[in-house]
A and B are shown apart, each in its own frame.
Chain A
Amino acid sequence: MSLGTFHFVPVLLWTDALIFMLLTVALATVWWIRRHAHLRAPWAAVARRPMAMGAALVLAVFVIIGLLDSLHYRERLDASPPDRPQYSVEVLSVFDALAGRLRTQQEKTYSAPLAMHLYAKEFTERDGATVRDYPRLEYGGAHLKQADEYVPDIVRRVLVGLLQGLASSLLLFGLLAAWQARHRQMRVGSWLSAWETGHLGWPGRTVVIVLALMLMLGAVIARLAAGYHVFGTDKVGQDVLYISLKSIRTGLVIGTLTTLVTLPLAIVLGIAAGYFRGWVDDVIQYVYTVLNSIPGVLLIAAAVLIVQVAIEAHPDLFDTSAARADVRLLALCIIMGVTSWTSLARLLRGESLKLRTLDYVEAARAFGVSHARIISRHIFPNVFHLVLIAIVLDFSGLVLAEAVLSYVGVGVDPAMYSWGNMINGARLELAREPVVWWQLGAAFAFMFTLVLAANLFADGVRDAFDPRLEERQ
């Protein structure tokens, strides 16, 4: 059977490949940690923190959306012959398939959140006369015949959504209680009272409440989105909720892949500088002082301009515009990684300087253990917590930086869905009357939720891993 008989062909963009590689590494790390008690202990401490666990749940939702949005494919054109299939130039993802009508229901131009009418007045024929009025939307609220059905319809949808969310979270909670009680060999009633008083050993109340809130919010939005544009539409009439959800992947890619570039540089150079000292230390310190002294935005801007020139010089390398935007996104991650490894490297250098003088390292050296082995067995495991804290702390900063860089004009490709591009596009519309605020609002709200969750989770991780904090308390 040839590939031609399928209705779609999978597309593996560069960032997709890296994301799934990252996912594999992360899962392998989780498996590794689970097997070692001393590595498990700090994570267990993270899991006991209500704030961190609540934040982790929110992050998980973002990650799932991002992963679904990373499974790309191209649909076969209906007109193409089966033996020589042709595929659409539009790259879709599994998330697009799930979003369904959210993607395709395009209006003419701006419309406010949950609106029935377009933002701008138009000339329309009515009763034989031409009147200038706000025309009805093509999809938003199209199921309503009269304007007075609007409020009851919205209220009904919100209530039904709330009930659905509540019912499904109650169901999930019931299943959880039954499973947990069985698992711990106790009665459901006593598990429930342990849950209620917070004596579970993990923040059960927070997890359940956050989960229920998210389910209810999701159900309400899904109910409303079936009939309206929940966050309105943008200049070309595209649903803002869809754009915001699509932007999640961009934010996650920038937050994670950049660190993936940073880590090898920071770990190898930082530990080498601290461990070997001498001329190695001098050279590495020189390199990072030079890189550090160039203002970050300018270095990124210079590099991005150069990448832009290179991409424009070779248009034949990319078969779709998505592939081109993707390469630019990857280039941005690499550039930001290369410019931001210095702070972690400096931290690791300082720590390695301290570690190399400790007795067990000196003993290993006296026994003739090779440098590579000392570093991998004795130095690296002892600085790993610093690396981990840096990963989670950097994430939120990178997500925020994307918006600023897109504003400066050196961010992701203008054709790519990203919160930075949304803000950039909506900024100028603030001068209009009435104000077009929903695009900005949605972008800031999504970005804020992701960054806040990441920050709260990072706090939990840092508190659990930083040995100095424990001494102080």
Chain B
Amino acid sequence: MFAYILRRLLYAIPILIGVNLLTFALFFVVNTPDDMARLQLGAKHVTPEAIERWKVEHGYDKPLLLNTRVTGSAQLTDTLFFKRSAAMFAFEFGKGDDGRDIGNEIRTRMGPSLAIALPVFVVGLLVNITFALLMVFFRATYLDVWGVVLCVVLMSISGLFYIIAGQYFIAKLWNLLPISGYTGGIHGLKFILLPVLVSVVAGIGSGSRWYRTIFLEEIGKDYVRTARAKGLSEIRVLFRHVLKNGMIPILTGAVVVLPLLFMGSLITESFFGIPGLGSYTIDAIQAQDFSVVRAMVFLGSFLYIVGLILTDISYSWVDPRVRLQ
């Protein structure tokens, strides 16, 4: 088991290097610091001096890969690649355009992101599994057919609609919950309820339809026939056997998104004014703050890779045959 995990961890390193090189190419080679400066300064104020000044202010005034003005190992280390890109491996993201330390921002914003994303994940999973099991229980009846149609209808509605409708009806018209905002602690609960509710409802359509196919696949297997042949009731078959075995693909599929919950959701957080990583990212995109976007790309990829490793581990834990390959 240990050797297997070690192998997966070693495999993650070249992928992170690839992500780093790709973002470096996107942000520094295709789109040079001069372009960034021009975009930030606006068309009116573009002079070569202004561009130089902007680059010095934001720490982009170094050569890309090789600094010929200094000697020794500094030739490689005193470059944009080393200072701005390779430094991310040590989680040193530098400062954003607003002068704040990105690493610090990430640490303080992870909490609010998680406060929304984790309940959405857990409640969503429970609700979707319940609906999926209901449809499977009534399979091949009109209840199932119309359940699937309802799922398709629900997943055809834009996610933005759920948010806007939720905010308008629940918060504005009926005054049940605050429209947006966030505070920590127990008083923050009232701010969390609406975004969680909206996100869970928005996910019901695709989620329960997906789980329904998983359960249906399970229900066609031989062990279910055996269980029925033993005389077990349909409910017992469903809950004791199908649910248990169907949970394996569902949970291992969920493991990969688990670390990404830290990143929060761009749209939900920005609509509900949650000071999490999602709204941080969207603000950075809209302000064209490239250093923050770059940091978030790296963080997102890192968390995704952590998720992949966790998935592999959970697979090999559930099914030991995987390890031997």
- Chain A interface (Cβ < 8 Å from any Cβ of B): 286-287, 289-295, 297-299, 301-303, 305-306, 308-309, 312-313, 396, 400, 403-404, 407-410, 423, 427, 430, 435, 440, 444, 447-448, 451-452, 455-456, 459, 472
Contact B168 A305 (CB under 8 A): no
- Of B18, B26, B172, the contact of A303 (CB 8 Å cutoff): B26
Contact A408 B300 (CB under 8 A): no
B residues 13-51 near A (Cβ < 8 Å) are 14-15, 18-19, 22-23, 26-27, 30-31, 35-36, 38-39, 43
Are A290 and B19 CB-contacts (below 8 A) given A301-B293, A404-B159, A451-B156?
yes
| A contact residues around B38 at 8 Å (CB) | 309, 313
**Closest CB of chain B to A392's CB: distance in Å?**
13
| Other A-B pairs, 15, CB within 8 Å; known A290-B19, A309-B38, A444-B157 | A290-B18, A290-B22, A291-B22, A293-B301, A294-B19, A294-B22, A302-B26, A302-B294, A305-B31, A305-B290, A408-B285, A427-B164, A444-B160, A448-B156, A452-B153
Are A407 and B267 CB-contacts (below 8 A) given A298-B297, A312-B39, A400-B158?
yes
Are A293 and B282 CB-contacts (below 8 A) given A305-B31, A309-B35?
no
| B contact residues around A299 at 8 Å (CB) | 297
- Of B152, B160, B288, the contact of A404 (CB 8 Å cutoff): B160
Contact A472 B220 (CB under 8 A): yes
Residue on A with the closest CB to B287? A409
**Closest CB of chain B to A161's CB: distance in Å?**
27
The answer to whether B305 has its CB under 8 Å from any CB of chain A is yes
The answer to whether B263 has its CB under 8 Å from any CB of chain A is yes
Are A301 and B152 CB-contacts (below 8 A) given A290-B18, A290-B19, A294-B300?
no
28 CB-based A-B contacts, threshold 8 Å: A286-B18, A289-B15, A289-B308, A290-B15, A290-B19, A290-B22, A293-B308, A294-B22, A294-B304, A295-B301, A297-B266, A298-B293, A302-B293, A302-B297, A306-B30, A309-B36, A400-B158, A403-B158, A404-B160, A430-B164, A430-B167, A430-B168, A435-B168, A447-B158, A448-B158, A451-B156, A451-B158, A455-B152
The secondary-structure label for the interface of chain B is: helix
Rounded to whole angstroms, the CA-CA distance of A459 and B212 in the bound complex is 14
The answer to whether B155 has its CB under 8 Å from any CB of chain A is yes
Contact B156 A440 (CB under 8 A): no
| B contact residues around A313 at 8 Å (CB) | 35, 38
Contact B156 A452 (CB under 8 A): yes
| B contact residues around A459 at 8 Å (CB) | 152
**Interface bracket on B:** 35 or more
Are A403 and B160 CB-contacts (below 8 A) given A289-B15, A290-B22, A293-B15?
yes
The answer to whether B296 has its CB under 8 Å from any CB of chain A is yes
Contact B301 A302 (CB under 8 A): no
| A contact residues around B26 at 8 Å (CB) | 302-303, 306
Contact B23 A302 (CB under 8 A): yes
Rounded to whole angstroms, the CA-CA distance of A305 and B30 in the bound complex is 11
Rounded to whole angstroms, the CA-CA distance of A188 and B36 in the bound complex is 71
Rounded to whole angstroms, the CA-CA distance of A299 and B281 in the bound complex is 12
Rounded to whole angstroms, the CA-CA distance of A317 and B249 in the bound complex is 51
| A contact residues around B263 at 8 Å (CB) | 295
B residues 287-318 near A (Cβ < 8 Å) are 288, 290, 293-294, 296-297, 300-301, 304-305, 308
Contact B22 A407 (CB under 8 A): no
Are A410 and B15 CB-contacts (below 8 A) given A396-B156, A423-B160?
no
Contact A472 B216 (CB under 8 A): yes
| B contact residues around A305 at 8 Å (CB) | 31, 285, 288, 290, 293
Residue on B with the closest CB to A450? B156
| B contact residues around A289 at 8 Å (CB) | 15, 308
Rounded to whole angstroms, the CA-CA distance of A298 and B266 in the bound complex is 10
The answer to whether B161 has its CB under 8 Å from any CB of chain A is yes
Residue on A with the closest CB to B179? A431
| B contact residues around A447 at 8 Å (CB) | 158
**Closest CB of chain B to A458's CB: distance in Å?**
9
The answer to whether B325 has its CB under 8 Å from any CB of chain A is no
**Closest CB of chain A to B212's CB: distance in Å?**
13
Contact B31 A295 (CB under 8 A): no
| B contact residues around A452 at 8 Å (CB) | 152-153, 156
**Closest CB of chain A to B288's CB: distance in Å?**
6
Residue on B with the closest CB to A444? B161
